[in-house]
Structure 1
Amino acid sequence: MQVTSVHVNLRVPDVAAARTFYADYLGMSAEGIGMDWVTRLSDPTTGAGVQLLTRDATAPEDPVASLKVADVEEAHDEARRRGYEIVHPLTTEPWGVRRFFVRAPDGNVLNIAQQE
């Protein structure tokens, strides 16, 4: 599996208020992803980033991190082959992402995604 980027997901009560802290204080740039329950911010120089979310809109649990991969089908098949718990099934979301959630052996839930 090839991971192409990673964003830590931080659960916040108000995305707009939290975005102000990360953008104004930390100097991160907000990426317009067009959803009120999640936003992504990244450092313009390094590309390091975070995602702020109130609650995942379609999944039963909130992931602690979102990993973009080159081939989400391959990642899903490998997770199943290894017997890892799939928390949210492989789904093409209305916002153009194909993703699934997997529980790591340590209990953390990860969002594994590929842009469509």
Structure 2
Amino acid sequence: MTVRRIVANLAVSDPGSVREFYEKLLDLKVVMDHGWILTFACDAPAKPELSVASEGGSGTPVPDLSIEVDDVDEIYGRARSEGYEITYAITDEPWGVRRFYVRDPSGRLVNILSHTA
């Protein structure tokens, strides 16, 4: 038996209300839209991962999602210019990531990161 993928399912009252956030900020594409559910994806290959945590590191809360990008500084600039709520400013962490936290329009805490090494 092999796990093929892991999908994060976030409960929101209006899936369309977060569409622009994930499309515009992260360049994700809607690959399924049934009105009651939107599924976002990109062409990059990924391996299934699941994290469980008692904190988010550096004393931060556990985020609802962690999204690794190739240029965290670019995404941080986009998030700031769009006026999204940054709850943890861009930081180089001692475990080798550069990251920030941002709230999506539904209030979900999203950890955006790039590995530094």
* TM-score higher than 0.5: yes
Deviation at 1:7, TM superposition (A): 8.3
Tell me the equivalent position of 2:11. none
Larger RCO (alpha carbons 8 Å, 6+ apart): 1
In 2: Cα distance, 1:115 partner to 1:100 partner: 12
Query: Letter of the aligned partner of 1:63 in structure 2?
Result: P
Query: Which residue does 1:52 correspond to in 2?
Result: 52
* SS of equivalent residue, structure 1 residue 107: coil
When the two structures are aligned, how many residues end up with a matched partner?
Answer: 74
Cα distance change on mapping 1:96 and 1:103 into 2, 3 Å: same
Q: Percent identity?
A: 36
Q: Tell me, which stretches of 5 or more residues in structure 1 are unaligned?
A: 1-5, 9-45
- Distance in 2 between residues matched to 1:75 and 1:59, nearest whole Å: 23
TM-score, scaled to structure 1:
0.58
The structure with the greater share of residues assigned to strand is 1
Alpha-carbon distance between aligned partners in 2 of 1:68 and 1:86, rounded to the nearest angstrom: 17
RMSD across aligned C-alpha pairs, in angstroms? 2.0
Structure 2 residue aligned with 1:105: 105
Distance 1:69 1:59, change over 3 A: farther
Q: 1:69-108, aligned counterparts within 5 Å?
A: 69-108=69-108
The amino acid of 1:56's aligned partner reads G
Distance 1:51 1:61 in 2: 14
> Secondary structure of 2:51's match?
strand
TM-score by length of 2: 0.58
Unaligned 5+ runs, structure 2: 1-5, 9-45
Code of the residue aligned with 2:66 in structure 1: it is: S
Q: Which runs of 4+ in 1 moved over 3 A?
A: none
